Amino acid sequence: MLLAFLAGNGMAQTCQCETDTVRLGLNFKQNSTSIDSLYAGNGESLARMRNIIGDSCRDISTIRIWGSTSPEGPKRVNEAKAMQRAEAMRDLALSYGAPDSLIHFDANLLEWPDATPVDYPSLRAAYIMMATCSKAAARQSTPAQPATPFDTESAALEEEAETDTIAVAEEYPAPTTSERGRYFSLSARANLLRWATLTPDVGLELRFRRHYALVVHGSWTTWSWNGKERRYALREIAPELRYYIGKECRGYVGVMYKVGAFNYKFSEFGKQGNILGGGLTGGYVLPLNRCLDLDFTLGLGYLHAHYDRYNVISSVRVRQGKGEKNWWGPIAAGVTLTWKLF
């Protein structure tokens, strides 16, 4: 009886499910958040990831995903970039059939204080760690103190830290659902086309979601010449709500509202009044470096202007009537320099 008990106990221990932890990484080009299967050996990692997720003979107990960037640029920009890369990895895992309920999406930025520029290309990455178990072994395993996926994951991470110079040496807490969509950045803007017409134009862009942004531009100028016989003055504010398209978030569409006041006098009679309108916008953002972009914008819509007509007699404005005008067509254009603050 004792021998049978010992034999049975030993058999149960040898049949326990052994959890395998697989860690894969995908590399990204600088400033990119799109997965390129032909870049830096990504093809092999993609094939392994597809095979593991699609293996019908193994169960996946947990999946952890996180992103990484090289340390150039502001920290908030790097955090956003790392999150976008992690999101791209998560979307890929879902497309391969991974259950969303098993994915722990980590929004934390991995920092590499000892990294040198030589290491930077290898730091622009996203990582996935999958804890898997053979279905046959799982059916024979005993319930006596089973190893949890997180215990196995921590042990695997400690072992990798000795041989992998960029291995993750600590376990991050699983983020909440709200953290998965977190994205925040603030940029200062200057419309170079407006500045070319001697109309100072500045603005701010607030990215509160990966694909959504609120942009506000303001313009102000006042010029007079020829003894104040000629005048050009403008005050304008234009808020805009944008939706950025695709994983790279370069192209966008949006809606704009515009309100302002003007005073033009380029001939015998001048016009002074207010404008009001809005429309649809579209454009493309061209990255220059880590902090600077060029934003090409065109807006189409409707503007209504009502004004007073006047002429100047002995330096005094004399009203000559009033008028109004409706305009359908281009209402905004810009080549805007954007500086990412954080």
Of 209, 212, 214, 206, residue with least CA distance to 178:
209
Where is 180: in which H helix or E strand? Answer: helix 177-180
Which two structure tokens, joined as six digits, stand for 85?
Answer: 């890369």
SS3 334: strand
Dihedrals φ, ψ of 15, to 5°? -95, 5
Write out pLDDT tens, residues 135-179.
655 455 444 444 444 444 444 444 443 333 333 333 333 334 343
Position 224 scores a pLDDT of 79
Give whole-number Cα distances, 254 to 39, 218, 285, in Å: 33, 17, 14
SS3 91: helix
Position 162 scores a pLDDT of 39
Write out pLDDT tens, residues 174-217.
334 343 344 678 999 999 999 998 899 999 999 888 789 999 99
Write out pLDDT tens, residues 17-54.
567 888 898 999 888 888 888 888 888 889 888 888 88
Is 51 within 8 Å of 42 (Cβ atoms)? Answer: no
Residues 6+ away with beta carbon under 8 Å from 183: 80, 83, 84, 207, 208, 209, 210
Average pLDDT over residues 290-309: 93
Write out pLDDT tens, residues 45-58.
898 888 888 877 77
Whole-prediction pTM: 0.50
